Amino acid sequence: MATLPECIRDISKTGRRHSQLANHYLVEKKLADQLRISTRAERLNLFPELYGELFRQVPDHPRLTRRVSDEESAKTVAARKLILQGKLTPETIFMEIAPGDCKLACEVAKDVKKVYAADISDQREPGMHVQDNFEMVVFDGLNLDIEPQSVDVAFSYQFLEHLHPDDVDPHFDLVAKALKQGGVYILDTPHAFSGPHDISRYFSEKPEGFHMHEWTYRELKSLGNKHGFNKMFVYRFGRRWDNSLFTFATLCIESVVGYLPKSIAWKLSQRLFLGVTVCLVKS
């Protein structure tokens, strides 16, 4: 019998045994390695295949065992909609990337002019009611059939970390092309300092599962500038700070924490930098 990898962090709150977590880690790491060496053409079909294999080999995966109540689902939608507060009006054209079950997109559709839900597959529940201004756009992840410079607000949640490094620049090009001048890309992704945030969290100091890369504020600012987003505002303490000084202060604090010994930076970041939520403004 193969020796299981040792846990490097507390697993008591996971509700799973060491053997279950280790199996999940080893399976996901092996599948993620296939993704990391894949070509862009291969990745078009590889994602659903790999996730299908993951769920087959890890029957105790939380996505298979956790049952989300209607109340919990409503709270999740409300929390994500709060991130968009102040950016949605009756004239807004909104695009959510990788909307999953589309519950947020459908809720936003009640308040805006038009909603595009762009994903590689339609994951809505059968018979789900949608507003007349809701449009599902199934695309290959690279070529989006939406009129250029037509979107006011683009949004993604816990998505960027799953992108292959070679697909990050094309993704930002795609979003920038869809947005109007002055439009915004609001995104939320796990912070690198407090990670890893995938299953490798319990066995490794770096993401080795389906999180291809975890980000910092500084990295996202640089990435945004590269693709025509001249401003970045940050979300801290439950709200967005539309203030360049606050963004600067966040970047400075992040830099200081980044110079600390890794173990200390990790512990501090459990409070300071669990996630990165930013609003990038297209120039």
Whether pTM > 0.85 for this model: the answer is: yes
- Check if CATH label 3.40.50.150 holds for domain 70-282: yes
- Quick one: pLDDT at residue 2? 65
Q: Do the Cβ atoms of 190 and 161 come closer than 8 Å?
A: yes
Confidence of residue 9 (pLDDT cuts 50, 70, 90): very high
The rounded distance, in Å, linking the Cα atoms of 57 and 52 is 9
**Helices (H), ranges, 37-69:** 40-57, 62-65
The rounded distance, in Å, linking the Cα atoms of 198 and 151 is 31
Mean pLDDT across the chain, nearest whole number? 95
The rounded distance, in Å, linking the Cα atoms of 50 and 35 is 8
Nearest Cα to Cα of residue 25 among 46, 6, 1 = 6
Tokens 């390695």, residue located: 33
Q: Do the Cβ atoms of 183 and 204 come closer than 8 Å?
A: no
Sequence ranges of the domains in the chain: 18-65, 70-282
- Whether pLDDT at 108 is above 70: yes
Residue pLDDT, tens place only, 56-93: 999 999 989 988 888 999 999 999 999 999 999 999 99
Which residues have C-beta within 8 Å of that of residue 39, sequence separation ≥ 6?
none
Residue pLDDT, tens place only, 252-282: 999 999 999 999 999 999 999 999 999 999 9
Query: Residues for the chain: how many in total?
Result: 283
